[in-house]
Structure 1
């Protein structure tokens, strides 16, 4: 990994807010407070919220702002130790065995020591996060924990208790400094209380209209103000309609970017129908929004913005 200059941890909640904002992440005071405390107390931060509200982005921004390596463990059903922690490079081990046989090596202890040495160890995200780094403790993102099963969750609890892992052939590897742990979940299932108790907790909600508008101005600087206001108001309206999958902040940015690339200056039903695939990802939701319900939402947005001047 490329060495990066390491920045000091923020000394206050205000510094935490400023640090995030400098990298275009607009955090409310409650989120900044729990993040500041997680850094100060060296506790994992457990973030819940709907998909697309910016949970994963917090870890990415922390990595950039602090100059730390970002190590990401993307969770999925069936995730096991060999994929998450470590495994041995079996092809290289087999090659060494063949070479040793050809050289007439008979010392079993020496052979095992060579086979189960550092050069044959493949470090997966958990072991990488516990390993020393020139940049300081890395940011360890455990993304979408709710996709794994309870057995892996129990194993992770053990890791977070002592920040160490035991490799039978090598012994125990312990972190010299605990990583900055960010755990995210979309709440597709409940995570066990035992793991949550190890962490500080925060529910990440969709941003207010004002914050989302500021995000669009930062992320899509070419988007004119009228279009940005209509996009944000329309998306905020859609989130009240109980869609199968509400559009997240990333989708709002994608939509605003697409409309800007098409040189649109305002929303209209035809434009929405042509570009709705950048905002919504399920056909049932698209059918609702390209019909009368979507036209009414647009009409309401236009009227509200006109009334607001």
Structure 2
């Protein structure tokens, strides 16, 4: 009988899609295929796409569905080895040195061996991901890799190729079982080919109208059907306007939730104006939608839905 706390990996593409669906993540065939292959081949999965399309959510869903811990490395400019991989507990090391000196111990090699041991090693996300205690590898999310620099990318090559980290004072630490690695990028800059070659790749796009409608149905069950259809049609239209930042799926869910909390049953200009801050995050985009562009979008949405019956 399978262990319910630790479900097995999916054995087919259809099982992979169903596994995600059970966690209310709607995946197309292409995403289901590349995710199944990444799990089967034990290769990192490199997900690229606009912010808010659900890249990070894939790692979270995998963690829940497979009953594995999620270890997240949130990338940012200036991220270094000490913050991402490991560092030594310097205060504890200094205390150990003083205690050794006070006790009359003068063997420098022994002192050095003691203070540069596992006891004083602080494991950051990368090393945690390679050190699964119970023999079950975690899901390791490297989120928004494009925010780091090329030097950190170069460091990751060893991690992604051999699932190991070399610590000068300790030697090489290799994962007993490779973690499930999900890498995301919003494409604010190009990531080097050497890193991409170590991964399977998938572009995560905005969902089509039917998918987005089903997402709202699952994530905001209190939103009535007519309002859900208007919300999705409106958001789909906004994404054709070449805004500074198109609304992602997360913003669509937030907007549907906000309108449901306000007991709205349909979109109107006043409602849109009052709640647009849950959907758009830049003032220039908001000003554009509160003007003639927004009026036209709402008219087009109503016409589209009326024509569809």
Please state which band the TM-score falls in when normalised by the shorter chain.
over 0.9
Structure 1 residue 171: Cα displacement: 1.1
Distance 1:110 1:135 in 2: 32
Aligned to 1:117: 117
CA distance in 2, matches of 1:149, 1:126: 16
Measured in 2, the distance between the counterparts of 1:279 and 1:99 equals 59
Aligned to 1:34: 34
Tell me what 1:238 maps to.
238
Q: Secondary structure at the match of 1:169?
A: coil
Q: 2:286 — aligned with what?
A: 286
Q: Counterparts in 2 of 1:56-135, with a 5 A limit?
A: 56-134=56-134
Structure 1 CA distance for aligned equivalents of residues 151 and 120 of structure 2 = 27
Q: Per-residue CA shift, 1:151-176, capped at 9, x if unaligned?
A: 11111112111111111111110011
Higher mean C-alpha deviation, range 77-86 or range 97-106 = 97-106
For 1:139, the equivalent position in structure 2 comes to: 139
The 1-side partners of 2:54 and 2:221 are apart by: 19
* 1:220 pairs with 2:213: no
Q: What is the root-mean-square deviation of aligned Cα atoms in Å?
A: 1.1
Alpha-carbon distance, 1:245 to partner: 0.3
Equivalent in the alignment of 1:298: 298
SS at match of 2:173: strand
5+ unaligned residues in a row in structure 2: which ranges?
none
Whole-angstrom distance in 2 between the partners of 1:108 and 1:131: 30
Which 10-residue stretch deviates more, 95-104 or 59-68?
95-104
Determine the C-alpha separation between the residues in 1 that align with 2:244 and 2:238: 11
C-alpha separation in 2, matches of 1:225 and 1:135: 46
CA contact (8 A) 2:50 2:186 kept: yes
Contact 1:38–1:45 (CA under 8 A) maintained in structure 2: yes
Note the alpha carbon deviations across 1:39-81, whole angstroms, 9 max, x for none. 0011111111000000000000001101111111111111111
Moved more, 100-109 or 203-212: 100-109
In structure 1, what is the Cα distance between the partners aligned to 2:119 and 2:303? 66
Q: What are the residue-to-residue correspondences of 1:233-272 with 2, within 5 Å?
A: 233-272=233-272
Answer whether contact 2:17 2:27 (CA < 8 A) is retained: yes
Deviation, structure 1 residue 135? 5.9
- Decide whether the 8 Å contact of 1:68 with 1:135 is kept in 2: no
Unaligned 5+ segments in structure 1 are none
Q: CA deviation at 1:120?
A: 1.1
CA distance in 1, matches of 2:264, 2:104: 75
Distance 1:95 1:216, change over 3 A: same
118-127 vs 31-40, greater mean Cα deviation: 118-127
Q: Is the 8 A contact 2:135 2:176 kept in 1?
A: no
1:168 alignment counterpart = 168
**Contact 1:73 1:142 (C-alpha < 8 Å) held by counterparts:** yes
